[in-house]
Amino acid sequence: MSTPETSGLLAERLLHLTRRLHRAQKRHMEPLGITPAQSRLLRTVAHGDQPPRMADLARRLEVVPRAVTTLVDALEAHGSVRRVPDPSNRRVVRVELTDTGRATLRALREARRSAAEDILAPLSERQREALGELLDALSGAPDHRC
């Protein structure tokens, strides 16, 4: 049985590892000129049948609409997304990926893989498989929020 001290230490180690992974990803993404928040928005835009509305992006990203506007402005200047009118309601603005955005997403996926490899380098293949199983078990666990 796990003690509160053990659980607390595990939580601290997981948070430390998460921060290391975020730093590694940021380092690998820097040459692309994309921030982690912009990367997340690009991935969100890429998923779905049709370009999302700005309000949908804010909801999915769990941010205020103004934050989405700032992210879209930066990604539009980067050439990765463009605003397009909704065909059924001209007051609604949708955000779609450009060819540059799709290429940037591919480069971001590679940057994320490289960052993960930096973190996982000390592990053997067997240890990586075991870690994957543990992460799957934790990811499928119910979310007990306070």
Q: Report the candidate in 131, 141, 118 with the shortest Cα–Cα distance to residue 25.
A: 118
pLDDT in tens, the chain (146 residues): 567 788 889 999 999 999 999 899 889 888 988 998 999 999 999 998 889 999 999 999 999 999 999 999 999 999 999 999 998 998 899 999 999 999 999 999 999 999 999 999 999 999 999 999 998 898 885 554 43
Burial of residue 101 (number of CB atoms within 10 Å: 0-12, 13-18, 19+): buried
Domain ranges of the chain: 34-134
CATH class of 34-134: mainly alpha
Please state the pTM of the whole predicted model.
Answer: 0.77
